[in-house]
Structure 1
Amino acid sequence: MLLLGIDVGTSSIKVSVVDAATQQCIVSAQYPDEEAAIISLQSGWAEQSPDVWWQYVKQAIQNANNSNKYNPKDIAAIGIAYQMHGLVVVNKQQQVIRNSIIWCDSRAVEVGNEAYEAIGAGICNTCLLNSPGNFTASKLGWVKKNEPQVYGQVDKMMLPGDFIAMKLTGEITTSSSALSEGVLWDFSKDELSQQVMNYFGFNNELIPVIQPLFSTHGTVQQSVADELGLKAGIPVSYKAGDQPNNALSLNVLQPGEVAATAGTSGVIYAVTNTLLADKYSRVNTFAHVNHTTDEKRLGVLLCINGTGIANKWIKMVAGENIGYSEMNKQAAQVAPGSDSLMMLPFGNGAERMLQNQQIGARISNIDFNRHTKAHLYRAAQEGIAFAFRYGLDIMRENGLEPSVIRAGKANMFLSEVFTKAFVNVTNVPVELYSNDGSVGAALGAGIGANIYTTYCEAFLNLKPLQRVEPDNAAQYNQLYMQWKEWLMQLVK
């Protein structure tokens, strides 16, 4: 019996086919090969086409099928992970009526700030656990205010994963976890937040049917099955945002457990059983995949928009003719501290941990006689690691103190320079695993389809590839303090 996981990322769509019995990945494939475009019509805006996502999903599945390593008819359930906080709107014919306003788009910051003031800090901090900020509800509020002709056509608003499930099944559903990441969920009542809906003037009919995250969100339509070589009627049995899903893929489910990713954006995600809200909304709290009314499981999320995208930009301007592995090798030849060269990676929209400020990415202390491309490669990776430390210290202010962080050995964690900088500047060991988002989505599908009767059963064979311990924490702490002093001169 096989499970199919789909990970709708910002840069590409990745799919994995997993053997349910062994939890081992049989094949993975992605599309496109080059990083997908982000449409930026104005500074701070970021959009993508949901219909293009769907074309990419189908092509990625076809690429996996073309491996001839499995029979697509043996796939028994489908799980979906997706880039969080995006807004997708469709009409009554399930047609997309505007591009998705994605997670790193900053246009709705002021809309969210006004909502926070009107709804009140008390309700936002105790019921929503977040400011409406730049999240999905505020993005829909922006559309209502600025594109009334579009808003008037909206039949359903949804998250990116809800859209892909709709294309597979023809049905539109959502979950409390998805609504919480849109800041549309009232944790005090465990229901849709009427305070948010009333403030924005949203009709409840805009919200899809709310179902448990692990449940049947529809079954694959015959036409889709015929096109993709699947069996009609198999369930889409799991949908989760990419960061809760990444935590699931690493078996991070219980209070005190912590996961991290360093892809286009960077995230530290800590599980707690406390309804926790940062008073400045620098970190955010959402319903984790296993959250229930009786057994609360919340994910406290630190997000850094400028992570892998900062490294990509450095490659574009200074390493265009080499690959990331060669960049990492050259960076390793430079000593920690990059010979005083420093970088702030904040060039991808409003940063939540900086209270939604946009200070931009910056490079400091360039010496034309000393610094080479290798210094630039290392300074970028260290700057990203220092940003993680800054965010982790905010989480520590809120009572979260990880003893170990689990991460997939992928993206920035493929770099020894970045991994050692991360471990030493945070002074927390990291365990690296082979699982990724698409594998996690496949295992989630197995849980949702009751192929696994417990969470533990889905992760019986999960073992770390390696554990990296701090070995130079004092030096990295000193370097971080210099970097932080520079940052503090720029934030308001």
Structure 2
Amino acid sequence: MYHLGLDIGSSSIKIALVNASTGKSVGVVTEPETEMSMEAVKNGWAEQSPLDWWRYVCSGIDKLCTQEKIEKSDISGIGISYQMHGLVLIDKEGSPLRKSIIWCDSRAVGIGQHAYEQMGPNTCNSHLLNSPSNFTASKLKWVKENEPDIYAQIYKMMLPGDFIAYKLSGVVNTTVSGLSEGIFWDFKSDAIAEILLDHYGLEKEMIPDIVDTFSVQSKVNEKGASESGLQIGTPILYRAGDQPNNALTLNVFNPGEVAATGGTSGVVYAVTDNLSVKESSRVNNFAHVNYSPGKPARIGKLLCINGAGIQYRWLLNNLNVSSYEEMDILANEVPIGCDGVSMIPFGNGAERMLESKEVGTRIINLNLNNHGKGHLCRAALEGIAFSFVYGMEIMESDGIKVNVMRAGNDNLFRSEIFSTTVATLIGYDIEIYNTTGAIGAARAANLHKGDFKAFGKTVLDNDYVMTFSPKEDKTAYKNAYATWKNELELILNNL
């Protein structure tokens, strides 16, 4: 038998199959083959049709089962991961009332900021662990203010993963972790955040029923089966937003464990039992997948670095080199600290961890006579690594205590220079795993049984690649980081 994992992204839908008993990956497909489009009627807006997601889920399931020669009747459980912070609205017939306002849509920024000021930082931080910001609740408030005819027809609001589960089962429900990412959860009362609903004038009845993250959340019904090809009665056993799910995929559940990704942007996601919100202006706090009301807290602290892999890709496209591997060879010819060259990597918009300042990418101390491609390649890798270390310092000031970082085997973490620099400066191992969010969601379908130890063994047995450990002699790394950090703080002080 097999478990199915669905990863509902904004660029594509990934569908994975794993062996239900061993967790071994059987196959993964991506739909569509070209990147999904986003509609931007105005600057800063981003919308997608939830029905497009569903269409690609159905075609992807068919494609994957055909590719692997597997009968859909042999799929015994479903796990769902999805793009966080999106808003889906349905009427009483279950039809979407408008396109989804997705995670990168910024139209509700002002609404969330105004709510934070009116409700007060102390109230927001102690109850919501965040500013309402541009999260799902603020997007729903925007609909109320700007599209009253649509708002009047709303039966339920949903997150993207809730909608896919609904299309499979006909059942409307959600999770505490999901509600917290939309800023609909009150951590102080361990209940739906009525203080925010009241402030925004939103109806509590719009919030779906809550089910456990790891449970039989619902089952595929006749309509879901006819459209997806899955068996009637196949259970949906897990659902989570993409960043909590990425942490789960890397077996990050407990305080002291950190998940990291180093793609176009960088993400550090640390699990803690500490409800500190000292850095709430720079770090987001959500209920992790194993958060349970009334039990010791499991909070996922999320820090995003916009200027990460996008800078290294820019160099690849503009340095007349053929591959990242060639760039690594060039970088390895240059000593730690790049003979004085530093690169500030924040050229992908405002950085929340830098208090939403636009710093840009800057190359510092470049000598046109002595420095070449290798210096730029190493300075870029070190600069991005230093930004991760800077982010970890912010996390640690917010109460995070760390003993291990786990990361996917993506572009940045494949680089020995990058990973060794981060490991040496943060002072603990970085374990590298070759896996995906869709595979993690499929494996999580087993966690309704409660055996987290077996889940961890599955990840270790199937995905472990290698470990980067801190170097004993840290002097050169510390000196290079100190130079970089000093340059960054000079820039920040002048903005």
Query: How high is the TM-score relative to the length of structure 2?
Result: 0.88
Is contact 1:4-1:78 (8 Å) kept? yes
Partner of 2:451: 454
Partner of 1:142: 142
Q: CA deviation at 1:469?
A: 1.1
> Could you tell me which amino acid in structure 2 is paired with residue 476 of structure 1?
Y
Q: CA deviation at 1:263?
A: 3.1
Which 10-residue stretch deviates more, 194-203 or 115-124? 115-124
> Could you tell me which amino acid in structure 2 is paired with residue 307 of structure 1?
A
Q: CA deviation at 1:187?
A: 1.0
In the alignment, the residues of structure 2 paired with residue 215 and residue 163 of structure 1 have an alpha-carbon distance, to the nearest angstrom, of 17
Write out per-residue CA displacement over residues 416-460 of structure 1, whole angstroms, 9 at most, x where no aligned residue: 343233323433320112332112111211223xxx342223333
Distance 1:343 1:10, change over 3 A: farther
SS in 1 for 2:110: helix
Distance 1:377 1:86, change over 3 A: farther
Partner of 1:10: 10
Q: CA deviation at 1:399?
A: 2.2
Which 10-residue stretch deviates more, 389-398 or 482-491? 482-491
Partner of 1:401: 401
Write out per-residue CA displacement over residues 283-328 of structure 1, whole angstroms, 9 at most, x where no aligned residue: 1221111111223222122222343444445555557x94555555
Q: Percent of aligned pairs with the same residue? A: 45
SS in 2 for 1:460: helix
> Could you tell me which amino acid in structure 2 is paired with residue 305 of structure 1?
N
Return 5+ residue gaps in structure 2 as ranges: none
Write out per-residue CA displacement over residues 150-186 of structure 1, whole angstroms, 9 at most, x where no aligned residue: 4344332222211221222222211111111111111
Partner of 2:88: 88
Which 10-residue stretch deviates more, 321-330 or 158-167? 321-330
Is contact 1:345-1:380 (8 Å) kept? no
Q: Compute the RMSD of aligned alpha carbons.
A: 2.8
Partner of 2:220: 220
Alignment partner of 1:66 is 2:66: yes
Partner of 1:254: 254
In the alignment, the residues of structure 2 paired with residue 332 and residue 203 of structure 1 have an alpha-carbon distance, to the nearest angstrom, of 58
Distance 1:294 1:466, change over 3 A: same
Matches within 5 A, 1:8-157: 8-157=8-157
- Equivalences, count: 486
SS in 2 for 1:414: coil
Partner of 2:358: 359
Alignment partner of 1:426 is 2:426: yes
Distance 1:466 1:380, change over 3 A: same
Is contact 2:11-2:36 (8 Å) kept? yes
In the alignment, the residues of structure 2 paired with residue 427 and residue 410 of structure 1 have an alpha-carbon distance, to the nearest angstrom, of 21
Distance 1:223 1:102, change over 3 A: same
Distance 1:33 1:419, change over 3 A: farther
In the alignment, the residues of structure 2 paired with residue 95 and residue 29 of structure 1 have an alpha-carbon distance, to the nearest angstrom, of 27
Q: CA deviation at 1:279?
A: 4.6
Which 10-residue stretch deviates more, 138-147 or 329-338? 329-338
Write out per-residue CA displacement over residues 46-76 of structure 1, whole angstroms, 9 at most, x where no aligned residue: 4444333333333332332132253322111
Which 10-residue stretch deviates more, 380-389 or 111-120? 380-389
In the alignment, the residues of structure 2 paired with residue 268 and residue 262 of structure 1 have an alpha-carbon distance, to the nearest angstrom, of 9
Distance 1:383 1:40, change over 3 A: farther
In the alignment, the residues of structure 1 paired with residue 9 and residue 398 of structure 2 have an alpha-carbon distance, to the nearest angstrom, of 29
Write out per-residue CA displacement over residues 178-233 of structure 1, whole angstroms, 9 at most, x where no aligned residue: 11111111111111111100111111122111211122332223344344442122
SS in 1 for 2:171: coil
In the alignment, the residues of structure 1 paired with residue 386 and residue 131 of structure 2 have an alpha-carbon distance, to the nearest angstrom, of 25
Alignment partner of 1:414 is 2:414: yes
> Could you tell me which amino acid in structure 2 is paired with residue 240 of structure 1?
A
Matches within 5 A, 1:68-467: 68-292=68-292, 293-315=294-316, 322-337=322-337, 340-348=341-349, 350-355=350-355, 357-359=356-358, 361-365=360-364, 376-448=376-448, 452-463=449-460, 464-467=464-467
Is contact 1:345-1:383 (8 Å) kept? no
Partner of 2:479: 478
Bigger Rg over Cα: 2
In the alignment, the residues of structure 2 paired with residue 35 and residue 324 of structure 1 have an alpha-carbon distance, to the nearest angstrom, of 22
Is contact 1:7-1:438 (8 Å) kept? yes
Write out per-residue CA displacement over residues 129-162 of structure 1, whole angstroms, 9 at most, x where no aligned residue: 1111222212222333344444344332222211
Return 5+ residue gaps in structure 1 as ranges: none
In the alignment, the residues of structure 2 paired with residue 255 and residue 64 of structure 1 have an alpha-carbon distance, to the nearest angstrom, of 36
> Could you tell me which amino acid in structure 1 is paired with residue 206 of structure 2?
L
Q: CA deviation at 1:80?
A: 0.7
SS in 2 for 1:442: helix
Which 10-residue stretch deviates more, 74-83 or 120-129? 120-129
Distance 1:138 1:386, change over 3 A: farther
In the alignment, the residues of structure 2 paired with residue 434 and residue 95 of structure 1 have an alpha-carbon distance, to the nearest angstrom, of 38
Write out per-residue CA displacement over residues 374-415 of structure 1, whole angstroms, 9 at most, x where no aligned residue: 655544443332221121111111221312211222343233
Query: How high is the TM-score relative to the length of structure 1?
Result: 0.89
Write out per-residue CA displacement over residues 72-110 of structure 1, whole angstroms, 9 at most, x where no aligned residue: 221111001112222223333333344433333333332
Q: CA deviation at 1:252?
A: 1.7
SS in 2 for 1:461: helix
In the alignment, the residues of structure 1 paired with residue 95 and residue 371 of structure 2 have an alpha-carbon distance, to the nearest angstrom, of 52
SS in 2 for 1:347: coil
Partner of 2:488: 487
SS in 2 for 1:390: helix
Q: CA deviation at 1:255?
A: 2.0
Q: CA deviation at 1:121?
A: 1.9
SS in 1 for 2:413: helix
In the alignment, the residues of structure 1 paired with residue 46 and residue 384 of structure 2 have an alpha-carbon distance, to the nearest angstrom, of 21
Q: CA deviation at 1:32?
A: 3.5
In the alignment, the residues of structure 2 paired with residue 51 and residue 326 of structure 1 have an alpha-carbon distance, to the nearest angstrom, of 42
Distance 1:138 1:329, change over 3 A: farther
Q: CA deviation at 1:259?
A: 1.7
